[in-house]
Amino acid sequence: MYGLVNKALQEMVEKQLGPATWEVVRKQAGVTDDVFISMDAYPDEFTYQLVAALCEVTNQKPDDVLHKFGRYWVLDTAAHHYGHLLNASGRTFREFLLALPNFHARVSLIMPRLIPPEFACDEIGDNRLVLHYRSTREGLVPFVVGLIQGLADLFHVEAQTCILAARSDGPHHTAFEVVWNDRSIG
């Protein structure tokens, strides 16, 4: 994955737990790079090892860490560094989710080595849709749930996400039902 993913994880840990904790996590993960270059591609294993080490060091479950990181990714990393991409992709939570299938194609224009996830949407009612997620990578479903939560917070809606079909139901595919209301919570 591009270095900006590991960099964002580092920022989250340093901000929330301090730089010393990050050093422990990085060493425990066996990652020797002390600086990640945003636009360099790193082996996916680095990211998985860093998440596993963070779980061990802070005694958290991987699902919780990935969920928090998804939320952080939208509200901090994307909002601060890639605001133009977010703004161009929708003015409401609904618009943004419906645009997700094309989102990473736009990201690929500036990151040609991206191996992106795939999304598809079925609108099944007012403020209710099924989001299909397909990936070549394992174990990132809680990250997606955190990303959706981050988007809900960004657009000031209350949203609930439930998993309809887990990856084990079919290769590389997870379906989520997302339900929300437009009541401002901000």
Q: Which residues bind ligand HEM (CB under 6 A)?
A: 1-2, 4-5, 74, 78, 82, 85-86, 100, 104, 107, 111, 114-115, 117, 135-137, 140, 143-144, 147
Q: Could you give the CA distance from residue 53 to residue 174 in angstroms, rounded to a whole number?
A: 26
Minimum distance, C-beta of residue 15 to ligand HEM, in the bound complex (Å): 18
The strand pairing partners of 41, in sequence order, are 2
Of 161, 150, 158, 135, the C-alpha closest to 8 is 150
Residue number with CB closer to ligand HEM (13 or 174): 174
Provide the token pair at 186. Answer: 């901000």
> Residue 20 CB, nearest distance to ligand HEM (Å)?
27
Q: Which is nearer to ligand HEM, 1 or 17 (CB)?
A: 1
Of the pair 23, 33, the CB lying nearest ligand HEM is at 33
- CB of residue 118 vs ligand HEM: minimum separation in angstroms? 8
Tokens read off for 179: 């339900």
- What is d(CA 5, CA 39) in angstroms, rounded to the nearest whole number? 10
Q: Find out whether 36 and 42 touch, Cβ atoms under 8 Å.
A: yes
Report the nearest approach of ligand HEM to the CB of residue 115 (Å).
4
